[in-house]
Structure 1
Amino acid sequence: MHNTHPFEAEKPDENLLARFSRAMVNFAERWFPDSYVFVLLAVVAVAFGTFMHGGSASDISFAFGEGFWNLIPFTMQMALVAIGGYVVAMSPPVEALMRKMATLPRTGRGGVVAELGR
């Protein structure tokens, strides 16, 4: 049986955007590292911090952990912004307004020109 990845097989009826998207997915799956690599990098960073600054590995790890948890309020704010934006965009009045505005430009080029002219 021939095993091919679903994004590897080129389909003759695909448009340029679909082919570009497939190429980007193939690139990301080939070159982006597995999560294990990030764990190894964290271990190397802790070891480097231990040797360079003279602290213990637990002190370095604790300092990293403290810094990480300080990012939680910002993360929650960004999550609320994303969720709030989605809720507003999906509300019937705003959705109707966005659909009406989307009909103004007649072509993709017209949409870009309209945006650049502002």
Structure 2
Amino acid sequence: MINWKYCIIGAALVVVLGIVLGMVDYGSFIGMFIPGVIVGYLVNDGYKNGAKNGIITGLIGGFILGILIFITIDFNLPPFPNVIYYIFVFALFAAATSAILDAVGGILGSIIRDKI
């Protein structure tokens, strides 16, 4: 079962940590992974539900993060046609990457919750 409260909290964490930790090498990947662990730990319903909630968290947060990152990059580029298309593709790529990382993090978080 999807716990939307934790998914929204996790998506907000993906956006915030992705932007803040994006300043260091591979920091945005760590910023996408940590909220998955937190959501998997909080769900406390087994590793399958931890992965499901992690995927939802990653899709929502990664899409928003992709839009924000591309907009900040786009300010430095000259104007070009079809900018909405490029924003959408970049956001989908960020959402897919974040969903994979958060699913693994959700599994890891639920395993940590079971062992403690």
Is the shorter-chain TM-score for this pair beyond 0.5, marking a shared fold?
A: no
Report the TM-score when normalising by structure 1.
0.32
Higher helix share: 2
Highest Rg: 1 or 2? 1
Higher relative contact order (Cα pairs below 8 Å, separated by 6+ residues): 2
